[in-house]
Structure 1
Amino acid sequence: MFWDGPGIELLRGFEATDAGGRVLLPVSAQHLLAFLALHDDGVQRASVAERLWPDSTQCRAAANLRAALYHARHAASAIPIETAGRWMRLSPAVRVDLREARRSARQVVAGLSQLPASCDELVDDLAAELLPGWEEEWLSLERERWDQLRLYALESLARQLCASERYLAALQTALAAIAIDPVRETAHRVVVEVHLAEGNIASALRSYQRYRSFLQRELNVAPSPKMTGLVRNLLRM
């Protein structure tokens, strides 16, 4: 989607943009903008400093925050950071791709009234990792939140596509969820359900057996009765 205003990209990698151009920032300013972009309602300055520089003293962390804020404002003046007393936040005028992806994911989970003609862009956004390559501790919980939301959204979308007999799109969507969490059973069940809906009995059975072997090898457990029930009659053939 084209956007000519200030923006922060968090999915697939960090990028700050304005008027279609990329803004180059030092690492500390990138971390500050990313952290604020993850907290829509703002956060206390002391909390920002503590989270971004957990190994520093309170005084040093505060100094690091002031320096990062200066660099962010100097290099990316078009991406406003609002401060009021002890609080700070990214201006609501800044587009954040993760916020839009979260909104779309929640709409999907709630049930779309009408499926778009193509779900490729939506699936691509839901399949995108949050700040890949970043190893900061403060990202762990945010990644978990995003992963759980996008998994539920992808699985829900796959079922909606299957119900609309858009089987290829349903399979690709379910496989995108499996790529995020190969152990999670729900998306594997969707794959089996899609094959059965198409009448591809052999494919359904093969998908089940592949997942069963994977679980046995990795965790020494079996699929749930709910999944086994999908192919119980096939296993007896």
Structure 2
Amino acid sequence: MAFLALQKDGTQRAWAAEHLWPDCTPYRAAGNLRSALCHARRACATPVVETIGQSLRLAPTVRVDLHDAYRAGDEVTAGLSPPPGTENGLIEALRQDLLPEWPEDWLVIEREQWDQLRLHVLETLAQQLQATHRFVPALQVALAAVGIDPVRETAHRIVMEVHIAEGNVASAYKCYQNYKDMLERELSISPSQRMRELVEELMPR
């Protein structure tokens, strides 16, 4: 079910079998898939999987929260604000890792796609909140993005910009110094010129 939930437009039976049982022969993998589908039909009174020829997909009646988050995220990155009353729910959804306890190889690319989307959405939301002077939630959202990818500069820069907008110059400089030290320690690189220029603007003339 989880595999099909990640295939928004469905998938071919052979492709699903190959990815779910990569260590099996195609014949064995196809048999495993038939068995899994049979168990799913028996376990649920209402059909949750549709089979159309060689295609598989979740039934339209099955709601997938990940799909909802993707749709809302796409709207935010397109420049739209979340509808009233949905902002907190979206932020909470974006904080969640994708099936964190699952070791399956087929999740690697799906997790990368999810992480990239939620990073961009959180950063965009933080900038929207900052623009409306909602500095506390803006900072919280930007820090959530930092937690997902600590080496990503964009989120750190937004944190600094929020501090600067609040007049907390020392906090902004501390964020920069912590980020700079982390990059040098872990990657032996320095922050970008854009971030350095942001810090230089804080220095007394």
Structure 1 residues 79 and 229, CA gap change in structure 2 (3 angstroms): farther
Q: Which residue of 1 aligns with 2:32?
A: 64
Specify the alignment match of 1:108 in structure 2.
Answer: 76
TM-score (norm 1): 0.83
Paired residues of 1:215 and 1:223 also in contact (CA < 8 A): yes
Cα deviation for residue 118 of structure 1 reads 7.1
CA contact (8 A) 1:167 1:194 kept: yes
Matched, 1:213 2:177: no
Matches within 5 A, 1:189-208: 189-208=157-176
Aligned length: 205
Deviates more, 1:138-147 or 1:77-86: 77-86
Runs of at least 4 residues off by over 6 Å: none
Structure 2: tracts of 5 or more residues without a match = none
Q: Secondary structure at the match of 1:136?
A: coil
Give the conservation status (yes or no) of the 8 Å contact 1:79–1:94. Answer: no
Are 1:125 and 2:125 counterparts? no
Change (3 A) 1:177 1:114: closer
Deviations 1:172-231 (A, max 9, x none): 000000110000000000000000011111111111111111111110111001111111
- Residues of 1 paired with 2:56 and 2:102: CA distance? 23
Please, which of 180, 201, 205 is the counterpart of residue 233 of structure 1? 201
Structure 1: gaps of 5 or more residues: 1-32
CA distances 1:33-60 after superposition (whole Å, capped 9, x unpaired): 1111111211111111101000001111
Among 187, 190, 193, the residue aligned to 1:222: 190
The verdict on how the C-alpha distance between 1:161 and 1:142 changes in structure 2, with shifts beyond 3 A counting, is same
Contact preservation (8 Å) 2:19, 2:106: yes
- Give the counterpart of 2:43 among 64, 75, 84: 75
Using a 3 Å threshold, how does the CA distance of structure 1 residues 112 and 43 change in structure 2: closer, same or farther?
same
Q: Which has the higher strand share?
A: 1
Using the aligned pairs only, state the percent identity: 56
Aligned partners of 1:188, 1:194: CA distance in 2, in Å? 10
The residue identity in structure 1 corresponding to 2:155 is: A
TM-score w.r.t. the length of structure 2 is: 0.95
RCO comparison, higher one (Cα < 8 Å, 6+):
1
Matched AA of 1:198: E
